[in-house]
A and B are shown apart, each in its own frame.
Chain A
């Protein structure tokens, strides 16, 4: 079959094409989460380890900028297509059921997907303002973290946010592979387990940081 751009765009605009974009960008964020978590784990190794990690990350320069632009592009696609799918799905059932019960397929993660997603968007904006675009000339990033988390309200908000991220990922991870067309049921059960482990790692790895910084280190 001849390859042309129209064809390609038509495929992406279909229901499954939109799901494909959600899956690929979502998996992109999963990779980002792994990298981010691996970096943040240096906090458990102490202040110096973390600051030197932050410095070395900065030293990568244009590579970091490139990754940031990529993530921004992914985020725009994920948010807008997600919102459009939500709208289409809402429209697909104009008259609602009086009673609708869960038949056992849905999970907390899957039911709350659009809402946890919206919350994460809000969290990311705040998070970038607090840690990314913050003035870093006269204090190290570790000091900024320490100062921000010493506000118990913020620490609590952060922990709740991480639980919400973990919930989103608990459905998103395996769901992305289902969308990508993994129809082998053995792989699928493995991916489901991996999704659970991944979401626990994200929730605990990030969520425990404020507790560690405030009470343990």
Chain B
């Protein structure tokens, strides 16, 4: 047990966005939380706050989470104006309370975008990302015997870049951080991971047109090359992938 006054324990003031449902008006509520261990993750801190709220008969703060190790893309909130909090290359579940100081006010808001409807409190509906993937984020492979792993030569550099793009966990921080709520980093990464590999080439044109068409239809904003997404992406995906997507789109649309 950690005691009050202990250096590894901090007291915080939380300002949390509370919204009962998608069509209800939300507002900020302030909670004081005491004796937060700095070894906790941000989500564990919220767990502790929620436990107390449940015990006192209040509605706990709803937030998304699953793996809690930065690989699933379920978690995420804007903390003090930064998507996934202030640390570089981390998801919210990997953000530790040691990055906060005693007495800090922590403002917690959901991803805000017309395309991401708030479901409840900090939970947003990111199924629009699934729609974009369904539109073309796949390759078609005929069933049959498993092909030999090395039958298709892939240059090492291309494999690396494709792997970097494939690191996207679909968390939506890029949309949240973008001043225009644009989804182009996500779509750029998803298009690049296929385009860079020979297996992705047969459907490249169809894929670019379908995914970008879907993205436009869903009400995301337009990229103005601010590069905020790249800075906030927990997987540090480069905007180079947006340029590659543009290139793919021109090839598909004009050639």
What residues of chain A have their CB less than 8 Å away from a CB belonging to chain B?
1, 7-8, 10-11, 14-20, 85, 88-89, 91-106, 110-111, 113, 171, 174-175, 178-183, 185, 188
Contacts and interface: CB of A to CB of B under 8 A. Distances in A.
A11 B248 CA distance: 12
The majority secondary structure among interface residues of chain A is helix
A167 to B, nearest CB: 15
Given A113-B224, A181-B250, 9 more contacts: A11-B250, A15-B184, A92-B180, A92-B219, A98-B15, A100-B78, A102-B228, A105-B230, A178-B225
Interface in B132-172: none
A98 B17 CA distance: 10
A201 B158 CA distance: 38
B216 interface: yes
A183 B244 contact: yes
Interface stretch (B2-10, B42-50, B51-59, B108-116): B108-116
B109 A105 contact: no
A89 B224 contact: yes
Contacts of B253: 7-8, 10-11, 14, 17
B21 to A, nearest CB: 14
A96 B114 CA distance: 10
Interface of B: 15, 26, 28, 78, 80-83, 107, 109, 112-115, 177, 179-182, 184, 205, 212-213, 215-216, 219-232, 238-250, 253-255
B177 to A, nearest CB: 6
Contacts of B184: 15
A97 B78 contact: yes
**Which of A91, A98, A102, A110 is most buried by chain B, counting CB atoms within 10 A of its CB?**
A98
Contact of B112 (A7, A97, A102): A97
A136 B67 CA distance: 74
Contacts of A180: 243, 246-247
B114 A106 contact: no
Nearest to A82: B224
Contacts of B81: 97, 99-101
A20 B249 CA distance: 11
A18 B222 CA distance: 9
A91 B230 contact: no
Contacts of B250: 11, 16, 20, 181
Given A14-B212, A14-B213, A103-B177, A181 B227 contact: no
Contacts of A7: 253
B78 A183 contact: no
Q: Which 10 residue pairs spanning A and B have beta carbons closest together?
A: A181-B247, A105-B227, A92-B221, A11-B253, A101-B81, A99-B81, A89-B180, A103-B231, A183-B243, A92-B181
A197 to B, nearest CB: 19
B240 A101 contact: no
A175 B107 CA distance: 32
